[in-house]
Amino acid sequence: MLFLLLLISALISGQPAAAAERPNFVVIVADDLGFSDLASFGGEIRTPNLDGLASEGLRVSNFYVAATCSPTRSMLMTGLDNHVVGLGSMHEQTAPNQLDQPGYEGTLSPDHPTIAEVLQDNGYHTYMAGKWHLGHAPAMIPHGRGFERSFSLLNGGGSHFDTTGLTRDNEESEFVEDDVYLTKLPKNYYSSRTFTDKLIEYIDSNRDDGKPFFAHLAFQAVHDPIQVPDSWLRRYQGEYDEGWDKLRQDRLARMKDLGIVPEHTENSPRLWYIPEWDELTGIAQVTNARRMEVYAAMVEYMDQEIGRLVDYLADNDLLTNTYIVFFSDNGANPQDPIAQAKQRAGVILGANFFATNYRTAFESWGRKDSFVAQSAPWAQLSATPFSGFKLTTFEGGLRSPLIVWKSNHPRAGELNTDAIVHISDVAPTLLDLADVPQNELFAEGTESLQRGESQLALFDGLTSTGRAAFGTELFGGRAYREGRWKITWMHAPYGTDEWQLFDLNADPSELNDLSAEHPQIKARLVAAYNDYARANNVTIPDRTFFDGLEENLPPRPPVDAPNWPRGQEDNWTKEEENDDEI
């Protein structure tokens, strides 16, 4: 009799009879969070709620994303390579020779469905709150791409307290709720808190109707400007006074204890243009420590909001049949827009933009109207022990912490260090869990493309294996990983302007180029990358477009040079000026 009632109800609603039995999905994405920032991945930042999910779920240490945010988000939404779905480059940094190429439109392609559209068509509620960065036109916003309810920042970043934008070309951030472009933000707006409020509101509005839901919480934290509510400004006071050198050693030791990296792992060298902590003057140590204090507080605040969402789900009996997936969209951000604006006379960001729109003096750092960035030295801490960070195709730019939680997970607390998982795998995995055919996401004609592979067995704890290989490219940086082997191509000064070969099992930090020792392996992987690039419309940007991006850095010395030259210390050693002038 019960089955008959369910069947009649399903026929009336037009949804599958098994809808109530299918799982809910909560996909949480951090912005610019480093691989080792969470305590459960070796960091010193207090993240008890994410650590709790990790202790009851599965951690995966070989999870890969793109080197920046919107390409990652495009692959999360579609399960296809970013070069195919419109984000072959970030819209803001598309090279002239890429402008007319298919896959470089800078917005999410309408030719490929999103995971939200497919799940909505199959009886799911679909909700989103947070950063979108995949298009601004009505057909391109979350409401137009399958989200039943949404509250979203459409831009790549901006103030966390109001609509102040991030660049002179984007002085005011754009927000939407559903299909309405907002003229003002909710009262007491703060990105991490308000995004969580909205997602809870949307879930709660339909929580008794028996339909499953897909809820996407896309935090803006910890993208610069790093800002926190006033009561959080001193939460980490004094906790970074030992400096980046000591803290990188401490993180690596904890990562080894946790099994995140092998015992033989070494930290990548401190960047050649960053001084030793002990070389800094007292005032320079104080000001630099302050950057990381605010960053850490912002990470912990995000963790608090994740805990609030989980508590809501638990209090309303919504956790039993729910998967929670957490990761970061790329590695930690090394860029300091203030320094770039000063040194480059506003070529990109505008020399007076920050002085006009934000307070930049040291005493204001972290407050709602201020601008300060994490900067390269601390981004290297967040990337411990890897080389590179956001914008690069070294491990520090591509590898993200991944946590997969479900009630009574059979591998609760386990760390998987073997499976290779790619961001494109998330969407097809959710479809498998929802019992929705993959062909609803992957239309005919996409067979030759790099597509996501369902990791249902991994997410459910039934296997420890992942995918075999994947390729990636962004801003001319390239990589291809197959098993333990990875080839990486990065332009100078961060790379060598040629392919390098690394054995990630023996050398997770990409310190030892094995090209000479294993030329056949290198040649095979280069050929595999070239096949990937051809199939997925990869267009390498004209090198001249990026020649100026690192013009403020001194040349990288030869690897056998006895002493690496200085030349960039002024970014971190001089006393901060106590005014707002740029």
Q: What residues are annotated to the active site?
A: 69, 133
Do the strands 164-167 and 170-172 form a parallel or antiparallel pair, or are they unpaired? antiparallel
Task: State the residue for tokens 């019960």.
Answer: 2
Can you tell me the distance from the alpha carbon of 151 to that of 77, in angstroms, rounded to the nearest whole number? 17
Contact 128, 119 (CB under 8 A): no
293 three-class SS: helix
Task: State the residue for tokens 């962004």.
Answer: 474
β-partners of residue 577 are none
Contact 271, 556 (CB under 8 A): no
Structure-token pair, residue 551: 């013009």
Give buried/exposed letters for 485-523 (b at 16+ CB in 10 A, else e).
Answer: bbbbbbbebbbbeebbbbbbeebbbbbebbbeeeeebbe
Contact 84, 451 (CB under 8 A): no
Can you tell me the distance from the alpha carbon of 279 to that of 50, in angstroms, rounded to the nearest whole number? 36
CA 270 to the chain's CA centroid: 23
CB atoms within 10 A of CB 439: 10
Among residues 153, 29, 169, the alpha carbon closest in space to that of 161 is found at 153
Task: State the residue for tokens 């999905």.
Answer: 25
Whole-number CA gyration radius for the chain:
23
Can you tell me the distance from the alpha carbon of 424 to that of 249, in angstroms, rounded to the nearest whole number? 33
φ/ψ bin of 131: left (φ > 0), alpha (ψ from -120 to 50), beta (otherwise): beta
Among residues 65, 235, 70, the alpha carbon closest in space to that of 140 is found at 70
Task: State the residue for tokens 């709660």.
Answer: 204
Quote the strand ranges of 455-550, DSSP E.
Answer: 469-474, 477-482, 485-489, 500-503
